[in-house]
């Protein structure tokens, strides 16, 4: 007899194999109270949701990537030097993953479907091999989480849209510096990038 539940579970596993969760810049400098460029309490409130998303993605056969902003101190060539205070500086507390995501990554960092990598611009695609890795693995849908919704999450989403990926934005797993920026970005994801906002 055909087992509908088993068939459904198999279908989810097959679907998730073409999906990846990107956890963007969820670090102390962007999230902790004393972070250099913190989104504060709204970002801190995402921690359990982000870890749960990561667990579900792996359990369903999907991929988890952690593109993480990195800077050198007082870099005269980086455009952000004149826009923001120093943040996510290489080998500092500020660049460490925030809260429960840090032990989650330490536990899963050797898993074949988990990878953290450096990025130096807003978009996780700019100057990285992310697109190549996703295409090698036949990934077509990207779930986005992390911070800041209207900066690095947004620019990553725009790059993904231009490269032909399907987008899912998890509203309870993204935050930014202002309520206005959050609302604008969520509307932009849906209305301009055709993303599913859930």
CB 39 within 8 A of CB 147: yes
Q: pLDDT value at position 9?
A: 56
d(CA 23, CA 143): 9
Q: Per-domain residue ranges for the chain?
A: 18-197
Mean pLDDT over 182-193 rounds to 98
Q: What is the pLDDT of residues 17-31, one digit of tens each?
A: 899 999 999 999 999
Phi-psi region of 10 (alpha: psi -120 to 50; beta: other; left: phi over 0): alpha
Over 80: is that where the pLDDT of 86 sits?
no
Please name the fold of domain 18-197: Rossmann fold (3.40.50)
Q: Which of 105, 74, 104 is nearest to 90 (CA)?
A: 74
Mean pLDDT over 81-94 rounds to 83
Over 50: is that where the pLDDT of 4 sits?
no
Structure tokens at 19: 């999906």
Q: Which of 65, 75, 33 is nearest to 141 (CA)?
A: 65
């Amino acid at each position: 007899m055909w087992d509908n539940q088993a068939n459904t579970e198999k279908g989810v596993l097959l679907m998730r194999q073409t999906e990846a969760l990107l956890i963007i810049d969820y670090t102390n400098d962007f999230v902790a109270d004393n972070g250099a460029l913190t989104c504060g309490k709204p970002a801190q409130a995402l921690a359990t949701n982000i870890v749960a998303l990561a667990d579900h993605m792996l359990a369903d056969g999907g991929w988890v990537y952690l593109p993480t902003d990195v800077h050198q101190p007082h870099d005269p060539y980086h455009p952000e030097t004149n826009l923001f205070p120093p943040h996510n500086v290489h080998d500092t507390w500020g660049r460490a993953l925030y809260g429960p995501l840090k032990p989650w990554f330490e536990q899963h960092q050797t898993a074949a479907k988990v990878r953290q990598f450096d990025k130096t611009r807003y978009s996780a695609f700019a100057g990285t091999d992310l697109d190549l890795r996703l295409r090698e693995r036949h990934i077509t849908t990207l779930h986005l989480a992390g911070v800041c919704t209207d900066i690095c999450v947004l620019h990553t989403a725009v790059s993904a849209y231009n490269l032909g990926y399907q987008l899912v934005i998890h509203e309870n797993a993204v935050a930014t510096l202002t309520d206005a920026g959050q609302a604008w970005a969520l509307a932009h994801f849906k209305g301009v990038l055709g993303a599913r906002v859930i």
